[in-house]
Amino acid sequence: MSKADSFLFYLTIAFVVLGFLALFSTSLGLAADNPKATFSVLYRQLVFGIGGGTILFLACFLIPYDFFKKIALPLFISAVILMLFVHFSPFGASFGGAKRWLVFGQFSLQPSEVLKFSFIVYLAAWLSSRRKDIGSIQYGLFPFLLITGVIGILLMVQSDLSTLVVITSGAGFLFFIAGGKIKHIGILMILGISAFFILTIIAPYRADRMMVFLKPGYDPQDTGYHINQSLIAVGSGGLFGRGLGKSLQKFNYLPEATSDSIFAIIGEEFGLVGSSVFILMFLLLLFRGFKIASRSPDLFGRLLAGGIVIFIAVQAFLNIAATIGLAPIMGIPLPFVSQGGTALAINLAEMGLLLNISKHRK
């Protein structure tokens, strides 16, 4: 057994430290309306995100990674049950018009984040067990579509198109890595793009967001307000930014500044140089993850490592693209950075598992 990948370990620490620093600065804008809001955001991120995430990180790092293959199905079923609890239990709660959380007193949990992790593990286990059948329609493509379709229905019940896009995109990449035929990948792409546009058209607010993306300047005082303020933030940062804590857009101008739009504040305060550092970090994570995957001793490890970095990278680059107008705004948070204790804890669990796999590299 080799030592864990030290570069990835330090990269993880850098993500946590710089992410918390960015959230700290951005959350100061909340104090304009509620002086206690900044403390609440940072406390939850520190205790539930970093604290809880550290525990999950250590567990996923120390437990032999092949154990996750044995528990993949019950882990996945548990995540699905949590998703159902959101709508069929008294603990389900709505924030911002979307019912996606479970609340137990002072503790809140976002099951869709747990679903991402469990789905990566389950899909890696399922694909590795069907290595010879992946190219088959009956035993490969059709069951894959069925599994992904069930997840899609659960997420659409919660009106969570953003998580659906991340999961289906990541799942498609994994299917390809596992040996899926090119023509089957083409079918998946056609079905995915068709489903995305249908789901966009049938919901007026999503259709408006798509119009803003396709036609810059559309409805600037309402639907287009968000992206306009985001672009103002990024543009005003220039090359080196206004400086840490000196953003103006976070003070009630930019919607969702601590969550979906936090990269815009990074651009405003740290400029093109600082923004590029974050992008480079995600690229390094993707490269390092693929390197670990390529040197894994078995197919499950390769798919698991590849799945982790693909899911994180897809989410990160869709968030960044939406922030600068290269993709429609879908409400996708930035991994390691955006407000959300559950998301950060799951990201750290994924890093622990990736480092675990790196110990067994060939």
Tell me the whole-structure pTM to 2 decimals.
0.93
pLDDT of residue 98: 67
- CA-based end-to-end distance of the chain: 9
Q: What is the mean pLDDT of each run of 10 residues along the chain (362 residues)?
A: 88 97 93 84 94 97 95 95 85 71 82 93 93 82 89 82 88 89 87 84 81 79 86 92 92 89 95 96 97 93 96 95 90 93 96 95 75
Look at residue 1 and tell me if it is in a domain.
no
Residue 284 inside a domain? The answer is: yes
The pLDDT value recorded for residue 179 is 86
Residue 287 falls inside a structural domain: yes
From the CB of residue 18, how many other CB atoms can be counted at a distance below 10 Å?
A: 18
211 within domain boundaries: yes
Phi and psi (nearest 5°) for 139?
-110, -5
Domain that holds residue 199: 6-358
For residue 234, tell me if it sits in a domain: yes
- Residue 68 is predicted with a pLDDT of 96
pLDDT, residue 217, reads: 76
Strand partners, 323: none
Paired tokens of 146: 């069925």
Q: Identify the residue whose tokens are 């993709």.
A: 327
pLDDT at 303: 95
Kindly report the three-state secondary structure assignment for every residue of 205-247. Answer: HHHHHHHHHHCCCCCCCCCCHHHHHHHHHHHHCCCCCCCCCCC
User: What pLDDT does residue 314 have?
Assistant: 94
In a domain, 298, yes or no: yes
Contact 168, 192 (CB under 8 A): yes
User: In terms of DSSP H, where are the helices of 237-298?
Assistant: 262-294
Quickly count: other Cβ atoms within 10 Å of residue 145's Cβ.
Answer: 17
The answer to whether residue 53 sits within a structural domain is yes
| pLDDT value of position 158 | 76
Within-domain flag for 132: yes
Structural domains of the chain, count:
1
- HSE, side-chain direction, 13 A CA sphere, residue 255: 12
Write down the residue that tokens 């994570």 correspond to: 285
